[in-house]
Structure formats: structure tokens, C-alpha cells
Amino acid sequence: MENTFKVEVYYEDTDLSGAVYHANYFKFIERARSHLIATLEIDQLKLLKNDMMFVVRSVSATFLKPAHFGDCLDVKTAFLRIGSASIQLKQKVLKSDECMFVALIKIGLISKGRPTRFPEVIREKLLNKDRFSN
Amino acid sequence: MENTFKVEVYYEDTDLSGAVYHANYFKFIERARSHLIATLEIDQLKLLKNDMMFVVRSVSATFLKPAHFGDCLDVKTAFLRIGSASIQLKQKVLKSDECMFVALIKIGLISKGRPTRFPEVIREKLLNKDRFSN
Amino acid sequence: MENTFKVEVYYEDTDLSGAVYHANYFKFIERARSHLIATLEIDQLKLLKNDMMFVVRSVSATFLKPAHFGDCLDVKTAFLRIGSASIQLKQKVLKSDECMFVALIKIGLISKGRPTRFPEVIREKLLNKDRFSN
Amino acid sequence: MENTFKVEVYYEDTDLSGAVYHANYFKFIERARSHLIATLEIDQLKLLKNDMMFVVRSVSATFLKPAHFGDCLDVKTAFLRIGSASIQLKQKVLKSDECMFVALIKIGLISKGRPTRFPEVIREKLLNKDRFSN
């Protein structure tokens, strides 16, 4: 399963270099993850009410090409590994077919402030992700 | 009482125009307010634990001159009015003595999601603000 | 002419209150303006290459209701006045039919860092805005 | 040489989890880098006027503990390697002595949009960094 999410670049995303401020790519790919999680019918607000939330444990990212104001970008998200307590994702930001940014992201879950394994219902949705349309 | 708070302009604050992105002035003056509230020995985290928080009710702002990367700015905050359920502030962003941005801000308090009057202990701290050093 | 633009609320837009951080409404309505300007076939990148850009001169805004993570918001933009050197807009952020935020915005144009009148070609596009579909 | 830079956490830095939004750590460490570069008497604005700028080529980061509103954080920056066309830095975000976030950052220079080697004057300042006080 590879999920695609569209991002448009606005003034707020750029810096004085004229290009997207580097930290904002992490916002773009987070939007894509939130969208993907919703697609999998995992309700993050319900999780939060139960004092659980997904957190980023680590990222490893390369900035390949600068994106600019007005660019329409695609964020492509692929699952690399679904463990019992963490997920590994590969996320790319593309302009047309050119890759601007690529990141490996490790996501975990915390419950009441502590790392926890995924509840069975969430793990099942993650494992059955290919059932959900993009 | 007029409170001064220093802000330095970083890449993240600018946009492709080379100047500070307009919405970021509202971040700058919010930092100054949080700093000022701490100066008055009002503990915002304690308020939050009691499900209370200060909120911005309205703003009226004029963008006079653009600030740029590397600028060291002063945010000057003055109280215009301290009511039973809202405060009015005038906040200016200055570079040396030149005014870049000026805003009138109305702040209220919400408790459990609803507007509320200031508790007496907070109102007293606000009214006695001149006792606190800048 | 009233223009509608969709905004979805992500983690990055919220603060510890659980609601949208107040300054981010100004980002939301700026996205709507950039989108509207593109709809009018005014090319902001081309303007920038000629050292011209639209700038916000003043805002007057009221925060009515808090928006939250996952909310799908509509930004409605209406022209109040199109002058020779400035535009006045009314912009609302709505959740379903409930108004969360309303702002009056005055926009000007700068050329080589100085305020300037709108070039005829831009003024015409602004005046003929009703020809453009939403 | 290890450089220390102070960051205070404001509303704008947090998200609905109550903690600092993950991407904002990259803003914190970028402020520290800009501050460090200024300490080395490298003028980023002058570079920009010559169409040169430092860019982040890659990051590898681990999120260890959440920082919260009101926290006073230290960003510690150490040089790992100074090459002819790139620098490698290790940057940590600490709260008191507890490490919240650690990142390896590779920085390069671009000139007229293309990667370039550091001019001799910049390379010298980087190599002589220990002469500069923190």
C-alpha cells in the first residue's frame, strides 16, 4: 500500500531563501500520516480521550531539492514494518515525479505518557491497511 | 507599567519576501504576553490543570514596517484596561525606536470551555501589576 | 463574489489548549487569499520577480469559537472595497455553518519595498473578479 | 567547542498533546545554528546578498522525552566534522541535564542554487571556531 496526499506550498511554508523552510517538510509528512491514519479508520481524537497518542520516535531525512511557493506536492507514504509497538514508514515529498525530500519515520504509541504496545484493534487496522482504498 | 520582551528573528519567522511572515508578529506578541503573565506570578500551567486558560478574544493590528532575519526586536506591552472578565492590551513591536507593528488585543479567560470572570486572585495580580519589576 | 477555500486542522495547527493556536487562523485565511489571487489569474511569483508583492496592511479580527484537530473548515472571502492602492476583504472561518473567526483585512501592494498603486492589469482582474468561477 | 543556546517553550511550540510539536525541535536547533554562525562572525545576510546560503542536507534525529509549555531548554551544538563542502553537527535539546532530543545534522552551502564548497574565509572561521567564546 502506498498512500498519496497533496500539499500546496503557501507563504507560511517558505523562508527568506525563497524555498520551503526545512522543518516544514516534517509538517507536510505529518499531515499525510494523520490523513492516512484517518483512512485506516483509526480515530486519533478518540485515542486522545483515552490518553493515548501516536508519537514520532525517530526520523532520518534527506533534503534533495527545494520546493517553492505555489508548488503542488505529493506526499507518498509506504509502510516498511508494522511491529507490536512501533511502525516504520518511508515518506517522500515529490513535485511531479521529482523527489524533493525523503524520510524514514519510526512511530510509536504512548498511553498515559508511557510507551505502549498497539492495542489489538489498532494493530489489526494497520495490518489490514491494504483493504482500505487510498 | 510597560513591559519589554526581546525577540530575535530567525529563518522560521521569515517568508519568501525576505521579511517576517505577517502572522508571526502575533506569535511574537503572544510570547511577550506569556512572559508578562509569568512576571505577574500567574501560573498558566496551574490554570490549565484547573481547565482554565487565557484566550485572545479579538485583535486589531497594523503592519507598519517589515522586520527581517537577524533583527532584534522589542515587544512593548501596556495595559489599557483591566475589566472583570477581559483585559485590553496595546502591544508594539519595535526595532530600535522604530515601530514595525502595533496591535490592540483583548484577552479573556475561559473555564471548562466557557468565558468566565477572572478569579479574584488573578484580578488582584493584574491590578497590582505595577508592583512587579519588568 | 464570495470565494470558499477548505482548510483541514492538523496537529501543527493546535496548541496545548487542544484548539487551534490563535495566530494560525491568519495562516488559514492567507492560504485562502493566495488561492483566490491565483483564481483571478494574478501570478504572485511573476510579481515577486518584478519585486512586487501583496502585503497585509492591517487586520481586525474576532475569535468566536475554537476549532479543533480534525475539523474541516471553510474560509469564505468577500471583497468589501477595491481601491487604487488597497483592497479590503472580509474573511470568515466556518465549521459547517458556525463562524469560528472573522477578520477584516486590508491588503496593499509594495514595489521595490515601497507602497504602490495596483498596476492596471491587476486592478482590472480584481474589478472583474466576478467573471472568475469560484 | 560546544555551544549552548537557550530556548523557551511557548504556546506556539506545543500541540494538542500538551507537548512540543515534534517538527518544532528542528526550529529550536536551527535557531541555535544561526546563533552559532553569528558567533563565528559569519554574516548570513551578506551570504544571501551573494546568493549563497547554508542548507540542511540531511538530519537523523531521535525524540527522547517530551518538552512542555514553559520549559527552558538548552540546545547544545558540537561540530563532528568540518569538510570542504559540508559540516556535520550533533545537536541536543536538554531540559536541565535530561536529553529530550538529539540530532545529527549535515549542512552544506549553496551558491546560485547549486551545492558549492565553502569559500576559504568561511572555512577558516569554521576551523578556528574554538577561538570564539561561547
Residue C39, all three cell numbers: 483564481
Phi/psi at D23 (5° precision):
-65, -20
Is pLDDT of C51 > 60? yes
d(CA A18, CA A116): 41
Amino acid at C108: G
Domain span including residue B13: 2-125
pLDDT in tens, D42-85: 999 999 999 999 999 999 999 999 999 999 999 999 999 999 99
Q: Which residue has the cell 518584478?
A: C50
Kindly report the number of other CB atoms within 10 A of residue D19's CB atom.
24
Cβ of B61 within 8 Å of Cβ of C57? The answer is no
Count of residues in chain B: 134
pLDDT in tens, A29-76: 999 999 999 999 999 999 999 999 999 999 999 999 999 999 999 999
Amino acid D132: pLDDT? 63
Category of C42 on φ-ψ map: left (φ > 0), alpha (ψ -120 to 50) or beta:
beta
Amino acid C113: pLDDT? 86
Phi/psi at A29 (5° precision):
-75, -25
Give partners of C (≥3 CB pairs < 8 A).
Answer: A, B, D
Handedness of CA C26, C32, C36, C41 (dihedral sign): positive
Give domain status of residue C134, yes or no: no
d(CA D97, CA D89): 20
CA distance A59 to chain D (A): 5
> In which residue ranges of chain B is pLDDT below 70?
1, 132-134
Handedness of CA B79, B70, D69, B26 (dihedral sign): positive
Q: Which residue has the cell 459547517?
A: C96
Amino acid C133: pLDDT? 52
Selected for mutation to probe chain A from C5, C12, C39, C45 (highest A CB count within 10 Å) is C12
Per-residue three-class SS string for C116-129? ECCCHHHHHHHHCH
Rounded to the nearest integer, the mean pLDDT of chain C is 94
Using CB atoms, pick whichever of C10, C27, C44 lies closest to residue A31.
C10
d(CA A126, CA A88): 11
Three-point CA angle C100, C106, C107, nearest 5°:
115
Cβ of D69 within 8 Å of Cβ of B11? The answer is no
Q: Which residues of C touch A (CB under 8 A)?
A: 8, 10-12, 27, 30-31, 34, 38, 44-45, 68-70
CATH of the domain at B24: 3.10.129.10
Give domain status of residue A14, yes or no: yes
Is pLDDT of D93 > 70? yes
Selected for mutation to probe chain C from B16, B63, B68, B106 (highest C CB count within 10 Å) is B63
Q: Which residues pair with B114 in a beta bridge?
A: B111
Instruction: Report the chain C residue with the minimal C-alpha distance to residue A27.
Output: C12
Give domain status of residue A132, yes or no: no
Cβ of B70 within 8 Å of Cβ of D11? The answer is no
Instruction: Report the chain A residue with the minimal C-alpha distance to residue D48.
Output: A17
pLDDT in tens, A89-106: 999 999 999 999 999 999
| Cβ pairs A/C, distance under 8 A | 33
Q: Which residues of D touch A22 (CB under 8 A)?
A: 26, 30, 55-56
d(CA D41, CA D39): 5
Q: Mean pLDDT throughout C75-92?
A: 96
b/e per residue, C27-62, with b = 16+ CB within 10 A?
A: bbbbbbbbbbbebbebebeebeeeebbbbbbbbebb
Q: Residue B84 burial by CB count (10 A; 0-12/13-18/19+): exposed, middle or buried?
A: exposed
Amino acid A132: pLDDT? 63
Is pLDDT of D134 > 60? no
Cβ of C56 within 8 Å of Cβ of B22? The answer is yes
The total number of structural domains that make up chain A: 1
Residues 6+ away with beta carbon under 8 Å from C129? C1, C40, C79
Cβ of C16 within 8 Å of Cβ of B48? The answer is yes
Cβ of A68 within 8 Å of Cβ of B17? The answer is no
Q: Residue D9 burial by CB count (10 A; 0-12/13-18/19+): exposed, middle or buried?
A: buried
One DSSP character per residue, C63-98 reads E-S--BTT-EEEEEEEEEEE-SSEEEEEEEEEETTE
Instruction: Report the chain A residue with the minimal C-alpha distance to residue B11.
Output: A15
Q: Which residues of A touch D24 (CB under 8 A)?
A: 23
Q: ipTM value, please give it.
A: 0.95
Give domain status of residue B132, yes or no: no
Distance of CA C78 to the CA centre of its chain: 9
d(CA D76, CA D93): 6
Q: Which residues pair with C46 in a beta bridge?
A: none
Instruction: Report the chain A residue with the minimal C-alpha distance to residue D110.
Output: A17
Amino acid C134: pLDDT? 46
Amino acid C32: pLDDT? 98
